[in-house]
Structure 1
Amino acid sequence: MKTIYLAGPDVFEPDPVAAGEALKQLCADYGFEGLFPLDNAIEDFDHPHKTAEAIRQANIDLIRRADIVMANLNPFRGFEPDSGTVYEVGFAEALGKPVFAYAADRRHMPDRLRAHQQLAPDALQCREGKSIESFALSHNLMFTHTVVADDARSCLRYIAERLS
């Protein structure tokens, strides 16, 4: 059975264990074993940096163990995806793992950003004065091949169809 590392900010949900179990059940429904970051047993160290490094290393080990990575790229604490998830996607890609992602809002980047920042419909710069990329993609161009679905279930269906 192929394993899927479940990258995303779901570990920050009010009940992250339940969120992880739900994602793992979805994986099982499609014939995969889900690996959720909170599956790791982490020692509580005397310093938060040591605990953070233990969590980081355990997640890296799970990504190495996984056959596939599925990432939740929904906005997290702002407009962009969770930076930890983005790191995990890049790490998995560097290892040559197949990565698939989902995001509920897959409108093109300019439309998403203009709505989020309440900009004019033809604005070419965001509020910070930076240009708004326009490649007919919902996310940064580095995710060109990655964002394939609106939600986890649809993403798993996509993965299952590609691997069968």
Structure 2
Amino acid sequence: MAKPTLYLASPYGFSAHWRSRLLPDFVEALEQLGIEVWEPFTRNGQVDLAQPGWAWRVAQADLQDVRDADALLAIVNGTPPDEGVMLELGAAIALGKPVFLYRDDFRRCSDSEDYPLNLMAFSGLPQEGWQDWLYGSIEELKAPSKALMQWLRGWASGEI
């Protein structure tokens, strides 16, 4: 049986330090859960700035991966979160993909008392229990009661 694929939307590939120190922690944690992680900086980030049209090609490849992945995990730290991550999240929501949010940034960037960031980021989550789709630590990704592990159980049982 093929592993479920998860697109990891994150701004961490833009910095060499973050790419070597932060991204591997997420990829490893998700792979340990039995997920095939599609990390766009690794998959589509072979950028030759001297080549005309490189940005369009990278954007198209990333969007195609969002379309083809089974689900998306968006790292939504920042005030506001990275605009590319938010566009990938919006595309996944529009495509009806399961979306999971990761935010360990304690700052709020919302006009709502309930939600820690822009309300539209939560439009792909259920109204009740949306908190189960939001993660505040890498360790929490494997919490059996939260949405990611429930999605994986559904995948493994063939319900998804």
TM-score normalized by the length of structure 2: 0.73
Cα distance in 2 for partners of 1:21, 1:104 equals 17
CA positional deviation for 1:51:
1.1
Letter in 1 for 2:48: D
Q: Larger radius of gyration, structure 1 or 2?
A: 1
| Aligned match of 2:71 | 68
Cα distance in 2 for partners of 1:137, 1:82 equals 17
Deviation track 1:54-109 (CA, whole Å, cap 9, x = no partner) reads 1111111211221110010000xxx21000000000011111111110111367xx
Cα distance in 2 for partners of 1:58, 1:37 equals 8
| Aligned match of 1:59 | 62
CA positional deviation for 1:155:
3.5
Aligned residues with identical type, % of pairs = 30
For 1:23-102, what aligned pairs fall within 5 Å after superposition?
23-41=26-44, 42=46, 44=48, 46-47=50-51, 50-75=53-78, 79-102=79-102
Cα distance in 2 for partners of 1:4, 1:65 equals 9
Cα distance in 1 for partners of 2:111, 2:25 equals 35
Q: Once superposed, what is the RMSD of the aligned Cα atoms?
A: 2.4
CA positional deviation for 1:21:
3.2
Unaligned runs of 5+ in 1: 114-131
Classify the secondary structure of the residue corresponding to 1:24: helix
Classify the secondary structure of the residue corresponding to 1:74: coil
Letter in 2 for 1:5: Y
Unaligned runs of 5+ in 2: 154-160
Q: How many residues align?
A: 138
The reply to whether residue 22 of structure 1 matches residue 25 of structure 2 is yes
Moved over 6 A (4+): none
The reply to whether residue 138 of structure 1 matches residue 116 of structure 2 is yes
